[in-house]
Amino acid sequence: MPISKDFTSILTLDWEINFLQCYPNGYLKYTELCNILQLTAAVHAEMGGISFTDMQVHHQAWVLSRMRVEIKRLPKWRESVTVKTWINSLENSRSIRCLELYIGTEKIVGCETYWAVFNTQTRRPEPLALEHQHFEKYPDNKATSIQFSKIDTTIDRTFVAEKAILLSDLDIVNHANSVKYLEWCLDFVEPKLLLNKGVASFEMNYLKEVSLNESIYIERSTNENPTTFTVNATNKTCFALQLNWK
């Protein structure tokens, strides 16, 4: 698709929080927060001519590798929020994208994401085949106080649950969608912690894709703060989540 006439290297996009996106306490679900952030990133990529559709000409897609989210507070039902996004770096097969979520002029969420270019036929990373020089990069502009990191998965963990990957878990890249991993893990967090205490920040590492009908098992760390979850398949860690509580 051609580059949009409205394209700018920094995009701001408005969203209104609806009741389907909220927990029983009226605050935005953490999974829906991630959806809003990723949808904003997708709009920016489409406007700039590096969207999924553009990349599929070369059998490529963006896949999420790491993500860190820092939360001052969650937005509530009926609140209007503005998401601001820009590219921090983009070289070869890797890109760092920053996002911030505002209510009015108050920043309430900061997010840093690390993406890889993925060949959807070979299922391997490779350099981006599309031009991206029209995107100005902002290496000095950060959205979080701490950069995303490698989560320690060698800590003691206990078995939580086992599941099979269903069609409803898949996305357009034909593997489990990145937000699904978060959903699977949060389903095994004490509800009062999510509804009353809340998460100050969380990080996610995506290590190996999982596909339809694959069996996975979820494990949880024995320590409580931070709380670490892993999603595993065939004795390999596919995903790690670290929750830092308020």
- For residues 153 and 240, is the Cβ–Cβ distance under 8 A? yes
Q: In this predicted structure, what is the pLDDT of residue 96? A: 98
C-alpha 224/C-alpha 220 separation (Å) is 9
Q: Domains in the chain, start-ordered, CATH in brackets?
A: 1-148 (3.10.129.10), 149-246 (3.10.129.10)
Global model pTM greater than 0.85 = yes
Convert 40-71 to b/e letters by CB count within 10 Å (16 or more is b).
bbebbbbbbbbbbebbeeeebbbbbbbbbbbb
Task: Tell me how far the alpha carbon of residue 131 is from its chain's centroid.
Answer: 24
pLDDT tens for each residue of the chain, 246 residues long:
789 999 999 999 999 999 999 999 999 999 999 999 999 999 999 999 999 999 999 999 999 999 999 999 999 999 999 999 999 999 999 999 999 999 999 999 999 999 999 999 999 999 999 999 999 999 999 999 999 999 999 999 999 999 999 999 999 999 999 999 999 999 999 999 999 989 999 999 999 999 999 999 999 999 889 999 999 998 899 999 999 999
Q: Is the peptide bond before 191 cis (omega within 30 degrees of 0)?
A: no
Q: In this predicted structure, what is the pLDDT of residue 50? A: 97
Per DSSP (E only), the strands in 104-213 are 106-119, 124-125, 157-164, 199-206
C-alpha 47/C-alpha 163 separation (Å) is 37
- For residues 204 and 241, is the Cβ–Cβ distance under 8 A? yes
Residue 2, number of CB atoms within 10 A of its CB: 7
Q: In this predicted structure, what is the pLDDT of residue 122? A: 96
Q: In this predicted structure, what is the pLDDT of residue 142? A: 97
Q: In this predicted structure, what is the pLDDT of residue 194? A: 94
CA distances (Å), origin 57, targets 7, 128, 230: 21, 12, 34
CA dihedral 136, 141, 144, 147 (to 10 degrees): 80
